[in-house]
Structure 1
Amino acid sequence: MKKITTGIVAHVDAGKTTLSEALLYTAGNLRNLGRVDNGDAFLDTDQLEKKRGITIFSHEAKLTTNNSEITLLDTPGHVDFSAQTEETLSVLDYAILVISITDGVTSYTRTLWHLLKRYQVPVFIFVNKVDAIGADRGMALVDIQKNLSESCVDFSKIDDEFYENVAATDDALLEKYLDSGAMSDQDVQNAIVQRKVFPIYFGSALKLTGITEFLAGFSKWTKEKEFSDKFAARCFKISHDTKGERLTWLRILGGSLKAKTELAGEKINQLRSYNGEKFVTITEAAAGEI
């Protein structure tokens, strides 16, 4: 099983947390779908978030597919809490950028896009709310390619035209494709991780439309990052639990970390792996894990 850490980013009201719920539910990690506006979303655990119906803090959840263990980080969509989002980007293997088909590429979407480029995060795009009256997938694709990148490619249908569109994003890939007339899955995976191609999927998170296809595509086209045996980690969040204990959220980027060891002059009392509000205590965290 490959391990992937991804974060969902979006302009407010694009359906970011709703997509998180849909992915967790479709993967079988949630029995019931929560709603942001009902205050029962799995990842909006803070009381202020429940009251306001928006994501203010980044939260973590786990989901599994046939070949992947995915750590999902839900981030704030409101510009007032963008610092939380930016801190999370530094620990992601991939990002999922949610765009509402009714709003298109907003100014904050472009801001997120530039941040993702700064941190060199590969990006999958989910165009949400395709069930809205007047929604036009063709126009949405043109909007994204014009305002974000011409290398954003529709991954909804894998056919000859799809491979031609992927090949056209990179000269070396195009030459290889023209010579052989074929393209391997690894070629596509490498193009994505090198930010030469940005996959686009369409759906409605609220109606669970296109979620199975997106989850299958994300599992297929991502690749696990390789890490050094030398210990390295990055902190992306500081919070407190219900007892007031300080929590330091780390992504292990090399080696491993054991409980009761000393890190940066402080003793680690406990290692936890969170899934929403719940957590399990672990004795050791390995590279690639949160």
Structure 2
Amino acid sequence: MKRICVGILAHVDAGKTTCVESMLYNAGNIRKMGRVDHQDTFLDYDQQERDRGITIYSKEAKYKWNDSEIYILDTPGHVDFSSEMERVLSVLDLAIVLINGQDGVQSHTQTIWKCLEHYKVPTLIFINKMDISYQAREELMEDLITKIHSNCIDYLDSQKDEKLALVNENMLNEYLEEGKISLESIQSSIYKRECFPCFFGSALKNEGIIELMDALCELSLPKVYPDEFGARIFKISSDEKNNRLVHVKITGGTLSAKQKLSEEEKIDQIRIYSGRQFTMVDTAEAGMVCALKGLNGFEAGQGLGFEKDMSKPLLNAYMNYELLLPEGVDALQMMRY
């Protein structure tokens, strides 16, 4: 079974969480689609997120579709939480960038795109909210071609092969000889970041989502992982009992519960999360995304096994701040608050 780790990225209010909600509904993981404005979505379960109607923390969900195992990561869209989004990029096999069909490409969309270029993440594009957009598909495609990349291609357009033929010389020759472009050639060009298939729909009305889910499985390349153990940490969180959790993607070999990662650090549990719910497993294999309980000395961005630590983040905070305490107040005591 092919395992695919997918990130959903967008400018705030493009509909990322609703898109994931629709995917999980179609896959049979949830019986009813929640809504951000109703404060009942599957992934935005933190009270601050529900109160404000935004995603603050990256979240994981897992579903199966077309013989593929999908690990989907919903990321914050607000610029203030960009560092949380960037940490996820290092573990993705594929990204889906959402564009609000009402607004088109926005400034933060371009920032996200630069990050995807930096981390070399293959990318699909979903233009959302087409049910309420006043812009035509052609206008939105022109916006993408102008502001994002000249090889953004409407993948469900009947003329798509003609446009794909212009991506590189090999695809042009293939089109001239065969009259069409093979799936293998399209997959290869996507993973080289030479072309970016685009899809249209409305996540809220579950329109175009099944086509996106099908394309996600069809266009992703099967990944071959090494036998040697490796993993990358992309998030640190706490569960409801305040247990520290280290979220990783396994990039090689296997990892077992009760396994020691150092003299001081031993894995207590391996959890596969989907929203706030999780299942415990004895072993995690390459390609899986999981949370490890029992580790205290690791931080986001670190590599385990053969993986090296991440380099300096591309994005920095817009503002720095300093807490000035009244004279005579012990800073160490204040840390607890």
The two structures have a TM-score, normalised by structure 1, of 0.96
Q: 2:208 aligns with which of 207, 210, 222?
A: 210
- 3-state SS in 1 of match to 2:233: strand
2:121 is aligned with 1:121: yes
> Matched residues in 2 for 1:177 and 1:137: separation?
25
| Partner SS, residue 36 of structure 2 | coil
CA displacement at 1:233 relative to structure 2: 0.6
Q: Give the Cα–Cα distance (whole angstroms) in 2 for the partners of residues 270 and 147 of structure 1.
A: 45
Q: How does 1:81-96 map to 2 (within 5 A)?
A: 81-96=81-96
Could you tell me which residue of structure 1 aligns to residue 247 of structure 2? Answer: 249
Give CA-to-partner distance per residue, 1:98-141, whole Å, 9 cap, x none. Answer: 00011111010000000000000000100011111523111000
Secondary structure of the corresponding residue to residue 267 of structure 1: coil
Moved over 6 A (4+): none
Q: Does 1:281 align with 2:280?
A: yes
Q: Distance in 2 between matches of 1:85 and 1:169?
A: 29
Q: CA deviation at 1:67?
A: 2.1
Deviation at 1:181, TM superposition (A): 3.0
**Pair 1:141–1:133, CA change in 2 (3 A):** closer
Deviations for 1:191-246, whole angstroms, at most 9, x for unmatched residues? 11111110100001111111121111222111222111111110000000011110
Cα pair 2:253 2:286 within 8 Å, conserved? yes
Q: Secondary structure at the match of 1:8?
A: strand
The CA distance in 2 between the partners of 1:180 and 1:99, in whole Å, is 34
| Pick aligned residue for 1:240 from 238, 246, 263 | 238
What is the correspondence of 1:103-252 to structure 2 with a 5 Å cutoff? 103-157=103-157, 159=158, 161-252=159-250
Distance 1:271 1:238 in 2: 14
* Amino acid across the alignment from 2:78: H
Separation of aligned partners in 2, 1:82 and 1:203: 26
**Count of residue pairs brought into register by the alignment:** 288
Answer with 260-269 or 107-116: which moved more.
260-269
Q: Secondary structure at the match of 2:51?
A: helix
Aligned mates of 1:144, 1:182 — CA distance in 2: 24
- What is the percent sequence identity of the aligned residues? 47
Determine helix, strand or coil for the equivalent of 1:247: strand
Give, as a single letter, the amino acid of the residue that structure 2 aligns with 1:278: Q
Tell me, in whole angstroms, the C-alpha distance in 2 between the residues paired with 1:147 and 1:154.
15
Q: Could you tell me which residue of structure 1 aligns to residue 300 of structure 2?
A: none
State the Cα distance separating 1:262 from its structure 2 match.
1.3
Q: Within 1, Cα distance between the matches of 2:236 and 2:98?
A: 25
Question: In the alignment, which residue of structure 2 is the partner of 1:266?
Answer: 265
Rounded to whole Å, the distance in 2 between the matches of 1:123 and 1:12 is 18
User: Could you say if the C-alpha distance between residues 155 and 117 of structure 1 is closer, same or farther in structure 2, counting changes exceeding 3 Å?
Assistant: same
Q: For the pair shown, which has the larger CA radius of gyration, 1 or 2?
A: 2
- Residue range with higher mean Cα deviation, 117-126 or 255-264: 255-264
* AA of the residue aligned to 1:48: Q
C-alpha displacement of 1:177: 2.6
Distance 1:174 1:263 in 2: 50
Counterpart secondary structure, 1:228:
coil
CA RMSD of aligned residues (A): 1.2
Instruction: Give the TM-score normalised by the residue count of structure 2.
Output: 0.83
